[in-house]
Structure 1
């Protein structure tokens, strides 16, 4: 894995260098028809546009220069390009440029949106849809890990959907992605998806980035898809639902917490692997493949308790 990370580091350095030299300034309104905004975040937005030259529809990720350095932009663009060969990672077009105030690169557009837009609150998604998502996302995460990389922000909003039955879903947004082994000192990713070792990080502590962080987030995401709600707000002792989960996992209590007891026993075992509090005991994302023949939902799964 160290060799893979080293090779990727060298490759990305070359991609960043070559992309930097060809970064032209383009007028967005002259080149594209704006269709609608697909989403926005702390560093910019994503727009659905049509290229006036080719009539091709695409998504443009637009990042404000005042909040994003040129190097940060080029790294994210290079990572997107490098990883987009996987069928369940969003395809990046060979199109990166700048405007007066923004950095921009092109991506394929997802016609349905992201997973958060189709989850039914307190119900989730149909079982077959969840299993399709699980298989595809686990494959993409395994691919990312094999490259010595960690996504660092796996969540429903970062899984794009190409059909209502989830036959095709793809991971997107590599703005927080880092090399395995990189040391960080501040929290990263969305609060409810963070692993406990990330949640406990303080300014005086360090955490080595590892693919087990993505596995934890993947586990939380699957719980959301199955139940239509989060298992907890934050993975710390201050959260009662998380504390009860930890006590159960550590065999301090025989019966699962109420919300987990509604899941089939096989899924309780699966989540015990994906959401192992001790990161060294966490499984690979492909652990989900061992449970595809089992039932993932029961009538009680849909309870709103």
Structure 2
């Protein structure tokens, strides 16, 4: 074991004896936002020194390809010596710089102690053509695969997702990072009731305060300040960008539609939303928002505040757990279809975007430590059945739904998929 001069980094043994790699252990709970840059630089530097080149097929049996994107792919593999199955994120060296790879790997590992963030076991290496790191396996695909167009998902499942994603985002913000690409495709699920979901893909993540010079993320989930950003001015990465995307996700979960296509004045849906918010007519929402129960309209107003300085934290959702999140529909057939989605355990077959014409491309740290502790305690209370048992990770993976037919507008978009298993959460 090697110890660095800083007290937050130690070097441990590789994950498996059969595969060389990089394995580090970080006391992330001791690292505050002010330390995040030094911490990540240290992880990147150490990981770079220990990165070895191997023949992937010498150590792992490649079972199948789980997903593929412009920068690489995700493979389901089995360790030849131990028989352990895992996901391997494989990034093309031609499209990905060594530092970008090591930074994504380091951030994934840095945050992986949280029960609702992708598990990263600390194994990374290179091949002749690829950078590779290992992740936990997920048996049930991503959140997008569960959303029925114009229906969404059941209310209880939506609340479970909101609690878990909120917890993950609060943790990320507390560590001084901004995810920058929050969307259903980057939320992985492990059961049809959404008792276990995890946030994944840190390819676009940035340290809080970093100046963004190009639009990053997925258009339909992009905050208005990002949509109107200019190259010359740039935009500081703040947790409020993730909060906005989080609010859009909840709307999609409840309705099966987007509230708008792009958060700019030329978009009629967004323009009506701005007019509604500006005039403070909470009880007279646009038609698009009339589908949302009155009791949670204020929740959306706070999460989707036009002025980013007035935007709430994601933990705002905890105040609304006792409210109804979905209107009762007189159409019993639609309601039964929604219930069957959960009860039969069959994911929605891909074939339609969340709304008719989608474009899936695209700081709040408290200075009071007691307040942070209170927030995290509340999140833990809501996530009452958390468990880190990963025994299911050895089962055969369900292929991830293909989304090639969904129209996409690339911006700074890393569409590789990651798979893992995680904890469970229940809503009392």
Shift of 1:288: 0.3
From 226, 242, 245, the equivalent of 1:217 is 245
Q: Equivalent residues in 2 for 1:33-182 (5 A)?
A: 33-182=61-210
2:298 alignment counterpart:
269
Structure 2 CA distance for partners of 1:252 and 1:136, relative to 1, 3 Å = closer
Partner in structure 2 of residue 24 of structure 1:
52
Q: Work out which of the residue numbers 223, 231, 255 in structure 1 matches 2:284.
A: 255
Name stretches of at least 5 consecutive residues in structure 2 with no aligned partner: 1-30, 336-354, 357-428
**How much does 1:231 deviate?**
1.1
Moved more, 130-139 or 8-17: 8-17
User: Equivalents in 1 of 2:67, 2:255: separation in Å?
Assistant: 25
SS at match of 1:299: coil
Q: Offset at 1:39?
A: 2.3
Offset of residue 252 of structure 1: 7.0
Q: Secondary structure at the match of 2:32?
A: helix
Deviates more, 1:158-167 or 1:4-13: 4-13
Residue 225 of structure 1, CA deviation: 0.9
CA 1:40–1:132 in structure 2 vs 1: closer, same or farther (change >3 Å)?
same
TM-score normalized by structure 2? 0.68
1:285 counterpart residue number: 314
2:245 partner SS: helix
Distance 1:38 1:251 in 2: 48
Matched, 1:7 2:26: no
Structure with more of its chain in helix, by fraction: 1
Displacement of 1:59 in angstroms is 1.1
Structure 1 contact 263–300 (Cα < 8 Å) conserved: no
User: Could you list the runs of 5+ residues in structure 1 that have no partner in the other structure?
Assistant: none
- 4+ runs of 1 displaced by more than 3 Å? 300-305
1:176/1:189 contact within 8 Å kept: yes
Q: Which residue of 2 aligns with 1:183?
A: 211
2:274 equivalent in structure 1: 246
Cα distance in 2 between the residues matched to 1:86 and 1:223? 25
- Work out whether residues 262 and 300 of structure 1, in 8 Å CA contact, stay in contact via their aligned partners in 2: no
User: For the residues of structure 2 that align with 1:53 and 1:8, how far apart are their CA atoms?
Assistant: 36
Cα shift readout 1:179-232 (whole Å, capped 9, x = no counterpart): 111111210001111000000012222211100000000011111111111111
Cα deviations by residue, 1:80-118 (Å, 9 ceiling, x for unpaired): 001000000011012101111110100001110110111
Bigger radius of gyration among the two = 2
Count of residues paired in the alignment: 303
Residue number among 200, 203, 220 corresponding to 2:228 in the alignment: 200
> Is contact 1:37-1:47 (8 Å) kept?
yes
Q: How many angstroms does 1:121 deviate by? A: 1.3
Q: Which protein has greater RCO, CA pairs closer than 8 Å, 6+ apart? A: 2
**In 1: Cα distance, 2:270 partner to 2:189 partner:** 29
In structure 1, the partner of 2:367 is none
Displacement after TM superposition at 1:41 (Å): 2.6
Give the distance between the partners of 2:233 and 2:76, measured in 1 at CA. Answer: 41
Aligned-residue Cα RMSD (Å) equals 1.8
Conservation of the 8 A alpha-carbon contact between 1:274 and 1:283: yes
Match of 2:18 in 1: none
**TM-score, normalisation: structure 1:** 0.95
| C-alpha distance in structure 1 between counterparts of 2:147 and 2:54, whole Å | 37
CA distance in 2, matches of 1:202, 1:300: 43
Aligned 8 A contact 2:255 2:291 in 1: no
In 1, the alpha carbon distance for the partners of 2:223 and 2:272 equals: 16
Q: CA deviation at 1:51?
A: 1.6
Residue number in structure 2 paired with 1:296:
325
